[in-house]
Every structure is written in C-alpha cells, then in structure tokens.
Chain A
Amino acid sequence: MYIQETIKTKYPPGDLALWIFICAELLVFGVFFAAYAFARANNIELFNQYQATLNTDLALINTIALLTSSYFVVSAIIAIKENQQQKSSRFLLLAILGGITFLIFKMTEYSHHMSEGINLTTNLFYMFYLSLTFFHFMHVILGIMILLVLWINTRKGTYTTEEHNGLVSGGAYWHMVDMVWLILFPLIYIMR
C-alpha cells in the first residue's frame, strides 16, 4: 500500500495543475503549428522565398542556448536531490543566463526585421513567423520569471531533498518552452 502511494506521487513529477496548464499551452501551440502547416502547404513558394531571409545562424545559437539552459535546470534539480542548495542556485542562475541570451539574440533578429519595415501585415509568411516566434518569446520571458522565483527560493533554502515540488514544476515549464522552440526552429527556419 505504502509503496504504491509513493510511486503515485512521483509520477508525473511536479504539480498536476501545472501539467494541465502545460497541456493547454501545447494545445495552443499545436493548433498554431497546424495552421502554419496548412498555410504553408497552400503557399509553398512564398514561404520558401521569405524563409531564406531569416537568419538561421542566430536561430541555431538560440537553440543551443535554450538546450544548455534546460540542461542547467536538470542539473539544478539533481543538485537539490543531493541537498546541495548552493550548487543548485548557481545552476539556476546559469539557466536564467541561457534564457536571457536567447532573448538578446531574438531581439537582434526582431530589430533587423523592424528596420526593414516588416510587420504582421507584410505577408502570410512573416505573419506566421512573427506571431509564432513572438508568442514563444513571451513564454521565454514568463519562463525566466518563473526561474527567477525558483532561484530566489533556492537561495532562501525553500527546497529540500524531500520537498522540491515547486522546483520540478517550474523546471517542467521551462522544458516545455524549450521543446516548443525545438519544434519551431526546424518548422520555420529549416524545413523547405
């Protein structure tokens, strides 16, 4: 009996409400991706033409930044499990830096587009490019704010080896943000 209970609480990790939220988020992105696929299928030439104007190098750097950042979040959770709160908070800080790196590069890209006078009404490709990446951009900001809260809590010693539900929940959200980008990157930048 007792063992079954503990197994139950371990899976899924983190807070159930958060998982519902993550599913809802993925649903929104999923519908957006489907719409993108639909629009692209009907306008392949337009999409290919303007896809070529995007800066794939910056996007690749951003992909690496988010992946590394996710790795640091995992490390932070492992550190907490080993009761090393100092180490955990340092990893979280690195994860936050990864997120900020992403924001900086993404803003560089946006300012480049803005200087060319590109906006939502320019054409269908840019509409999707800007909508999807900006929607994701806002999620990165939200994710960073969550990581900041986790970082402050970790420094205060809120989380322990036994009780670190909040850290796992926040970490799961960050992975979701990362994962969405991993779909966005090939979908918008690479796929021809």
Chain B
Amino acid sequence: MKYESQSVAKLYFIAAIGLFVGQIVFGLVMGLQYVMGDFMFPEIPFNVARMVHTNLLIVWLLFGFMGAAYYLIPEEAETELHSPMLAKLMFWVFLVAGALTILGYLLVPYSTLAEMTGNSLLPTMGREFLEQPTITKIGIVIVALSFLYNVGFTVLKGRKTVITLVLLIGLAGLAIFFLFSFYNPDNLVKDKYYWWFVVHLWVEGVWELIMASILAFVLIKTTGVDREIIEKWLYIIIAMALITGLIGTGHHFFWIGAPEYWLWWGSIFSALEPIPFFMMTVFAFNMVNKRRINHPNQPAVLWALGTAVMAFLGAGVWGFMHTLAPVNYYTHGTQITAAHGHMAFYGAYVMIVLAIISYAMPLLRGRKACNSAASQVAEMWSFWLMTISMVFITLFLTGAGILQVYLQRFSDEPMSFMVVQDKIELFYWMREGAGVVFLIGLLLYVYSFFIGGEERTVEEKV
C-alpha cells in the first residue's frame, strides 16, 4: 500500500465478501424452492429470496467496484484520496441503506414495504433487479455521486492514467444509466424498453469498462508488463465492448413490443459481443506470458486469468448461444437465460472483484506482497471449487433449459409450464448440489483470510 487513504478500500472489500456469502445462502434457498416448492413458504416466498439474491449481488459488486476504485485510484493518481472521511461516511450510508432494504424485503410483505416507503409518490418498485424502494434508489444515487466526486477530484489533482480514466468513465456511466430506473411509464412496452437502458447498458456496457480497467491494473501490477502496451489493449477492448454492446441492446427488444427491425439489428450486433471478451482472454494470457516479474501473489494472477476465461465462456459463448432471434424465439425466458446469467455474472464481475481483492487485501493488511503459502493454497482451492461448481450450475441449468424449450415450446404437443418443471426436476437437484459445493468454496475463500504464517518473498525477475 503506497498511500494511507487507500485503506478505506478494506472496509468496502470486507462488506462485499460478507454480502457475497448472504447472496449465496439465499441462492441455495431458491434452488431448494425449485424442487421443494413449499420450502419456507409463506414466510420467505420465492420472489423474496430472489430479490435478496439478486439485490445482494448488485450491492456487493458495487461495493467491490467502489473498493477497487478507492484502492487503485490513489495509486494510479499518485496522490492521497480527496476525502477519506467522505469515503468512510458513504460506506456506512450505503451499508445501512442496503441492510435496511434487505431487512425490509425479509420482514414485511413487499406491498407493505412499497406503502411504507411511499412508492405511490414516484413508483419505481417491482421491476426485476430494480425492486429497491424509491428512497433506496435515491440513496444509491447520492452514494454514487459522492463517490464520483471523491475519486474524480483525486484524479484531477493527480496523475491521469488511462486506467483511471476508463474506470471513471465506466463508473460515471453506471451512475448515469441508473437514472433510467426512475423512469417507469404506465405503458408496459416503454417501461420494458427503458428498463434495459439500466440493465443492459450496465452489464453489457459500462460495467465492461470497469472490469477491463481493473483487470488492466491487476495485470500491470502482477506481470510488470509495460504500461503502454496494456493501455493500448485496454482502449481496443473497451472500444469493441461499446461498439458491439450499444446496438447489441437490441437483442432484448425482440419480443417486448419493439418494432421488427430490432430482430436484425439486435442479432447482428449482439452476435459480435463475444469479441471484446475474446480479446480480454487473449490480452490476459498474452500479458502473463510476457511477464517481466514472477509476482508472489499467485491467486491474484489466477483470478485475473480466470475472470478473462470465464467471462468469455459465460458472457461470450453462452450469450451467443441464444442471442440470434430465431434461436431466442424459443429460448427467451427459460432456464437457458438463467444459465447464461449465472456464468456471465460470475465470470465477468464476481471474479474481477475477487481478483482485485486478492491482489489488494494482503497489502491493505500490511503485508509486503501477498499472503502466506498456506493461505494462498486455500484461496486457490476456493477458486477451483467455486469456478468448477459454477461451470456445473451452468451446465445443469442449460440442460434444464434445453429440455424446457423442447417440452414446452418445440415439441408437437407442448406441455404446460408446471408439468415441464416437474419433468426437469432432476436437473434442479443437481444444480442445488453444485450450489452447495459453491458455498463450500466460498467459505474456504473466507477462511483463507484467517490463515496466517510466513509470507512469501517479494517479487523476482523472470
């Protein structure tokens, strides 16, 4: 750690990991509800568990992104953070607001929560992933603006690098596109259309900028490759991400009442969306092969390579699989979408946050470069446990999805939804099993932070 104020990142990272555990626990609850329909009913119905699962994911990733920014921006800008106090204050604001929202989901019926928070004044609740009460949404905007102000001024007074610039553009885009969550027209078609301006332009747009810049930072630090080369790659990757991703939004407009030409525009551009992810994989492996140093923090390098590969598989390959309109006509809104969503989020965003945590946390805890060998071994085990179980979750959901598509939509005598769900129960059981392994991997990950011992020596030249 080169600058005192970087230490605020530690708070954010700890919160992120804590919420991650919560997310997975509720994921397992949902997984069980898929096969034991009355599990926890009516105390925690499926929709509540799902809200907690997805909202916790979004919140902890945001914590991760903010922590990453607070860590790497002072180091890149070569100056102390503009206001560490504000960063700490906003951390608690965000954490308390998040916790209250989750408690609200769990303790009172959703409609009561809507009433308590005055949703009728500015109705924004009840839409997928944007279930937060309006007041929480306003809180998120305030936190995001203070955060942008804080890191923005840090960059302004210090060195401006491509990494900080790209990260800032990504984070600013995140805040700007979130504003669409306040637009909830009565017209269902418009509601759905602009809903994607938050969801798609986040995860297939500006978040990719955030991911690529964090990846570039970790690679510079762990491979010692010349900054010029890495920055050039960074620009090309994010250029491709936005060039394909912006019009690629159209693959969500096929069946929601938007005009027919989106079938073509959306198919064509989203078919190209794997390109930036493929380039990211080539980039990561290329840089590690060209490394000038052998960094002693092996898990950080592993996470960095892992995120590049898994993002390509999850977002690129699994996305491409059902993005063309004639295919999507049958797969839209089935377990295929769920399969893609799980691996894409894990590969692209969970793993990049874990990569920066893995790199930064030892330094934040006052170590020279990395954790002890024993801790690193445990962390790498957790990497493989989580990653492989996620691969299996994806495969099982894909299997369930293919069967669902066939039985419910493609065969000569289509069956009803619930009948089909019963028939594919086995896949849901196997998914739940893989989910348990994932939780074990995650607990091992958490445990690895508490393994002490002699830390490894500092980096050596290749």
Contact = CB atoms under 8 A, between A and B. Distances in A.
Are chains A and B touching in the complex at the 8 Å CB cutoff?
yes
Interface of A: 17, 20, 24, 27-28, 31-32, 35, 39, 120-121, 124, 127-128, 131
Task: Tell me whether chain A's interface is mostly helix, strand or loop, or mixed.
Answer: helix
Given A31-B271, A35-B268, A127 B260 contact: yes
A174 B461 CA distance: 46
A35 B267 contact: yes
Contacts of B275: 24
Nearest to B267: A35
Interface in B251-308: 259-261, 264-265, 267-269, 271-272, 275
A28 B264 contact: no
Contacts of A39: 264
B259 A121 contact: yes
A27 B272 CA distance: 9
B25 interface: no
B267 A121 contact: no
Contacts of A124: 260
B261 A121 contact: yes
Interface in B335-357: none
Contact of B268 (A24, A28, A121): A28
Sorted nearest first, the 5 A-B pairs with minimum C-beta distance are A127-B261, A120-B261, A121-B259, A31-B268, A35-B268
Contacts of B264: 35, 39, 127-128, 131
Contact of B261 (A24, A28, A131): A131
B426 interface: no
B141 interface: no
A28 B272 CA distance: 8
Task: Tell me whether chain B's interface is mostly helix, strand or loop, or mixed.
Answer: helix
Contact of B265 (A17, A24, A27, A131): A131
Contacts of B267: 35
A34 to B, nearest CB: 9
A32 B261 CA distance: 13
B240 interface: yes
A32 B268 contact: yes
B243 interface: yes
Interface of B: 232, 236, 240, 243, 259-261, 264-265, 267-269, 271-272, 275
A32 to B, nearest CB: 6
Nearest to B240: A24
A23 B272 CA distance: 13
Contacts of B272: 27-28, 31
Nearest to A121: B259
Contact of A121 (B232, B260, B271): B260
Nearest to B326: A38
15 contacts: A17-B232, A24-B240, A28-B268, A28-B269, A31-B272, A32-B268, A35-B264, A35-B267, A35-B268, A120-B261, A121-B259, A121-B260, A121-B261, A127-B264, A131-B261
Contacts of A28: 243, 268-269, 272
B259 to A, nearest CB: 5
B238 to A, nearest CB: 13
Nearest to B324: A35
A120 B259 contact: yes
Nearest to A126: B261
A173 B265 CA distance: 24
Contacts of B243: 24, 28
A127 B262 CA distance: 10
Nearest to B271: A31
B370 to A, nearest CB: 35
B439 to A, nearest CB: 41
Contacts of B232: 17
B256 to A, nearest CB: 16
B379 to A, nearest CB: 36
Contacts of B236: 17, 20
Given A28-B272, A127-B260, A131-B265, 17 more contacts: A17-B232, A24-B240, A24-B243, A28-B243, A28-B269, A31-B268, A31-B271, A32-B268, A35-B264, A39-B264, A121-B260, A121-B261, A124-B260, A127-B264, A128-B264, A131-B261, A131-B264
A116 B168 CA distance: 46
Contacts of A131: 261, 264-265
Contacts of B259: 120-121
Contacts of B269: 28
A190 B435 CA distance: 58
A17 B265 CA distance: 26
A57 B83 CA distance: 66
Contacts of A17: 232, 236
Contacts of B265: 131
A131 B240 CA distance: 20
Contacts of A31: 268, 271-272
